[in-house]
Structure 1
Amino acid sequence: MGSATSSMAAKFAFFPPDPPSYSVYVDEPTGKLRISDVHPRDDVDVVKLSTKKGNEIVAMFVKNPCASLTLLYSHGNAADLGQMYHIFTELSLHLGVNLMGYDYSGYGQSSGKPSEQDTYADIEAAYKCLEETYGIKEEDVILYGQSVGSGPALELAIRLPHLRAVVLHSPILSGLRVMYPVKKTFWFDIYKNIDKIPFVNCPVLVIHGTEDEVVDFSHGKQLWELCKEKYEPLWLKGGNHCNLELYPEYLRHLRKFISAIEKLPRVQSLPEPSADQLESSLKTIDNKEKARSSTDQKEKSRSSTGQREKSRLSTDGREKSRTSTDKREKSRKSTDRSGKARNSTDQSERARNSFDRLGDMVRSVGLCNVDCLKHAALEA
């Protein structure tokens, strides 16, 4: 059931460009990988990374010699590196940061098929590359999640206690909440960002357009309200889901944020959590749903008990009615006993009444059993 639900959710959640907007080739003079249809740049590395899910994803690293911070960017839906290439290089230049962007499994020239768990493995592979290939430290990394990319960004953020900061660009509360205004988290939902954001300990910047037609503005607003370390949000009036980069305030506010983060001391005072502590934090999200499920079961039990109580009261009512009839019958019999001539008739009447009471009891028990079976069937 779980795998089938995940597969169904993936069909609704992921829309990789088809066909991909780029291809990857080897530049013969340098031996480096390149992305097609863009001017080759010496400050851009194109790499292929293996994930723990067995896929090979394509990533690009934009180097800025003046940078002290690195942006790990998880792009939105219906986009790939070919479409994001120029945005990434421009952001690196204007923000003064290194930037790592990557394609999810099944996007662009990355192998495999997209799924929630695969995107988690994808961002882990990209982060590992930053550490091992480029020597970038955790406390110098800012995670940037756009739209559906907010899912893998927050999943990694809650696992990195010394992370410098997080940027959420048109983020989602969860996959299901994009389609329906549900009030609680269901087990089959994907990207449960609403339950993860309270576990992020670094500063968080949220950017959202007020006229977003894909992910309602309320998603970004609620995530910001749930942040531990809130940074001044950017609510772009009139902005929709795909045009926030066109607003002058967008780049200006990002520059201000990066400058503020650079002045903050590295997050080194927090102790490194043990594996048990991290696992306990992650399980808290699932325990919330289990608690809600248990409450629902108790509510059903109370409802079932109430129905049985109604059935018992109905039976008691019939019993009281029968008792009242018996009392009247006894009164009549007492009067009849004064006449010896009616003794024979009284004996037969008592026999008939005894049979009637037994019939009432049988019918009463039968009705009770039927009601109980009905409730059991409904509960099942």
Structure 2
Amino acid sequence: MFQTLAYWGSIIAFGGVTCIFSLIYIFQGKLMYFPDRKQWISPDRYGFETGEGNFKEIFLTTEDAVRIQVWFFKQINSKSVPTLLFCHSNAGNLSHRLPNIRDLFHNLGINILIVSYRGYGKSQGSPSESGIKLDMDACMKWLLNEPSIDPEKIICFGRSLGGAVAIDTVYRYPKNIKGLILENTFTSIPDMVDIVLPEFKYFKRLCINNWDSHTRIKSITCPILFLSAKKDEVVPQSHMTCLEKQASNASTKNMIVFESGRHMDLTSQHNYYKYFKDFVYQNVFPPNSQNS
């Protein structure tokens, strides 16, 4: 009798553990990506104009046939200025970045392309690491073939999750992207599990969304700017410090630490846009460079 109970007990326990493992594997994307398809802010509220103006909405088709939404903000002298590929963080949609887009557009005088990852905004599909990489491929293909910009003046910016997306994109397009700007991003998702969901630390091997920036950044050779919040309550500041150390092959790198900054408020910190602008026009495209 006891042997029978032990047998069935082990079967039930094994089944329970298997179920937990399966749920973590299948639903981990919902623990990481928080897309918003409903709450929209119109670009015209921030002074952008459609049609022949300085803004247009574009839909691209990825290699796996997913239709994704991107917004392109174009300067009058679009061909002679840099173009910023903007990789947003893990919540909301691209419209929630409009205040930041407006300030970058006017303070730096650059073109901006921001992508709505699959599953976000008006983009089809559901988000995943492999899928978002295909979204970025579609964006790069568009940028490299768009006649209104200079394909030799592309830089990439990513905040939080977008930092991991940006690192991976620069890693895969080293000849096409001339500069990288990272804001409050992490070393990898498994490293973040220890902080955000420590109860799942023993299941880290099940991660299919690894975003291994810690490894990828070692191969990046273009200039890198690190914008880091000392009081980041989401991603420990030590992650940015680690990434800066790992970026040993970058032609130049600069770490700016905002002493009173938090995870999502760096745009309001003193000299935020000045650091951004100085990096773009002094480190990436200095006045006497061939790219200017």
Q: Larger helix proportion, structure 1 or 2?
A: 1
How far 1:68 sits from its partner (Å)? 2.1
Q: Which residue is equivalent to 1:61?
A: 72
Q: How many residues align?
A: 254
1:171 to 2:185 alignment: yes
How far 1:156 sits from its partner (Å)? 1.4
Distance 2:44 2:108 in 1: 25
Q: Which residue is equivalent to 1:366?
A: none
Indicate the RMSD between aligned Cα atoms, in angstroms: 2.6
Cα displacement string for residues 266-293 of structure 1 (whole angstroms, at most 9, x for unaligned residues): 69xxxxxxxxxxxxxxxxxxxxxxxxxx
Instruction: Indicate the SS of the match to 2:144.
Output: helix
Q: Which residue is equivalent to 1:21?
A: 39
After superposition, the Cα gap between the structure-2 partners of 1:119 and 1:36, relative to the gap in structure 1 and judged at 3 Å, is farther
After superposition, the Cα gap between the structure-2 partners of 1:65 and 1:164, relative to the gap in structure 1 and judged at 3 Å, is same
How far 1:222 sits from its partner (Å)? 0.6
Q: Which residue is equivalent to 1:343?
A: none
Distance 2:183 2:30 in 1: 22
Q: Which residue is equivalent to 1:43?
A: 54
Q: Which residue is equivalent to 1:262?
A: 285
Q: Which residue is equivalent to 1:200?
A: 220
How far 1:212 sits from its partner (Å)? 0.5
1:100 to 2:113 alignment: yes
Q: Which residue is equivalent to 2:12?
A: none
Q: Is the 8 A contact 1:22 1:36 kept in 2?
A: no
After superposition, the Cα gap between the structure-2 partners of 1:6 and 1:85, relative to the gap in structure 1 and judged at 3 Å, is farther
After superposition, the Cα gap between the structure-2 partners of 1:45 and 1:174, relative to the gap in structure 1 and judged at 3 Å, is same
Instruction: Indicate the SS of the match to 1:127.
Output: helix
Q: Which residue is equivalent to 1:76?
A: 89
Q: Is the 8 A contact 2:29 2:128 kept in 1?
A: yes
Q: Which residue is equivalent to 1:233?
A: 255
* Structure 1: gaps of 5 or more residues: 24-33, 268-380
Q: Which residue is equivalent to 2:232?
A: 212
Distance 2:185 2:164 in 1: 8
After superposition, the Cα gap between the structure-2 partners of 1:130 and 1:5, relative to the gap in structure 1 and judged at 3 Å, is farther
How far 1:248 sits from its partner (Å)? 2.2
Distance 2:211 2:24 in 1: 14
TM-score normalised per structure 1: 0.61
Q: What aligned pairs does 1:1-380 form with structure 2 within 5 A after superposition?
A: 7-17=26-36, 19-22=37-40, 41=49, 42-66=53-77, 67-134=80-147, 136=149, 138-162=151-175, 163-180=177-194, 186=205, 188=207, 190-227=210-247, 228-229=249-250, 230-260=252-282, 261-263=284-286, 265=289
Counterpart of 1:12 in structure 2: which amino acid?
L
Percent of residue pairs bearing the same amino acid type: 24
Cα displacement string for residues 168-201 of structure 1 (whole angstroms, at most 9, x for unaligned residues): 111111112123168xx95735101001000111
TM-score normalised per structure 2: 0.79
